[in-house]
């Protein structure tokens, strides 16, 4: 554990809580891609199956349970409780175009051809692109609520902090995981355009809206 890893995890946690609270308090999931949230629920489920097979630490176990629990709670709020507010027409990204290639890649490029390991690899690859339906939705509607941009910023920042964590671990522990590093780089790059808009617009008090 180092400072980048810890702040990365906390940033991830903050993102998840911000989204849950936003939906809960406003009683609405307008502007939120349910498809991205389903993908994140799949990501956590396939990655954290190791809860059943290996214990790493109390921190590790509790964070995993919180992440996976919150992911399902978010999906429940969007598709069941506040379904009437879900903007399905604008959430039109075709997720099979992500899941199928990512599944194929996980079978082809992994650390070990074992079921749990392939599912872990699948989750790493899928996480790197899971935000695309949300970004697609924003580009389609041309705007995002400010609280939604805070969510996206925390979510993007988390993987960027993990990149520093991996540099740290390589330097001080000789540890590296090429699959996680490459996927983490891809994931972070996908947020760059959004980061730019967040800094130049949202942090200056303006709403995030894209030119028509």
Partner 1 sequence: ADEAGPHDEL
Binding site for partner 1 (CB under 8 A): 5, 9, 12, 47, 50, 53-54, 56-57, 60, 63-64, 67, 110-112, 114, 116-117, 120, 162, 165, 174-178, 180
Secondary structure element (H or E) that encloses residue 208, with its range: strand 208-209
Residue closer to partner 1 by CB (options 86, 159) is 159
- How many CB atoms within 10 Å of residue 132? 18
Residue closer to partner 1 by CB (options 172, 211) is 172
Q: How far is the CB of 124 from partner 1 (least distance, A)?
A: 9
* Residue at token pair 């190791």: 50
* Cα 35 from Cα 74, distance rounded (Å): 11
Burial group, residue 24, by CB count within 10 angstroms (0-12, 13-18, 19+): middle
Residue closer to partner 1 by CB (options 12, 35) is 12
Q: How far is the CB of 116 from partner 1 (least distance, A)?
A: 7
Q: How far is the CB of 95 from partner 1 (least distance, A)?
A: 23
Q: How far is the CB of 72 from partner 1 (least distance, A)?
A: 16
Cα distances from 202 to residues 147, 153, 180, 186, in angstroms, run 10, 10, 30, 24
Residue closer to partner 1 by CB (options 30, 179) is 179
* Cα 68 from Cα 157, distance rounded (Å): 19
Residue closer to partner 1 by CB (options 110, 187) is 110
Q: How far is the CB of 117 from partner 1 (least distance, A)?
A: 5
């Amino acid at each position: 554990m180092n400072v980048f890893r810890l702040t990365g995890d906390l940033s991830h946690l903050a993102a998840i809580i911000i989204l849950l609270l936003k939906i809960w308090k406003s009683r609405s999931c307008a502007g939120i891609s349910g498809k991205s949230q389903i993908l994140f629920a799949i990501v956590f489920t396939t990655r954290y199956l190791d809860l059943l097979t290996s214990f790493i630490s109390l921190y590790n176990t509790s964070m995993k349970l919180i992440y996976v629990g919150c992911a399902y709670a978010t999906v429940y709020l969007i598709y069941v409780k506040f379904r009437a507010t879900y903007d399905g027409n604008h959430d039109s990204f075709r997720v099979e175009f992500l899941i199928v290639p990512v599944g194929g890649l996980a079978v082809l490029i992994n650390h070990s051809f074992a079921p749990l390991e392939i599912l872990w690899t699948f989750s790493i690859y899928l996480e790197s692109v899971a935000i695309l339906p949300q970004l697609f939705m924003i580009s389609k509607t041309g705007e995002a609520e400010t609280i939604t941009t805070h969510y996206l910023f925390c979510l993007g920042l988390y993987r960027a902090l993990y990149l520093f964590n991996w540099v740290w671990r390589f330097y001080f522990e000789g540890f590296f995981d090429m699959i996680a590093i490459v996927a983490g780089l891809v994931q972070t790059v996908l947020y760059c355009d959004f980061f730019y808009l967040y800094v130049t617009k949202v942090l200056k008090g303006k709403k995030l809206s894209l030119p028509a």
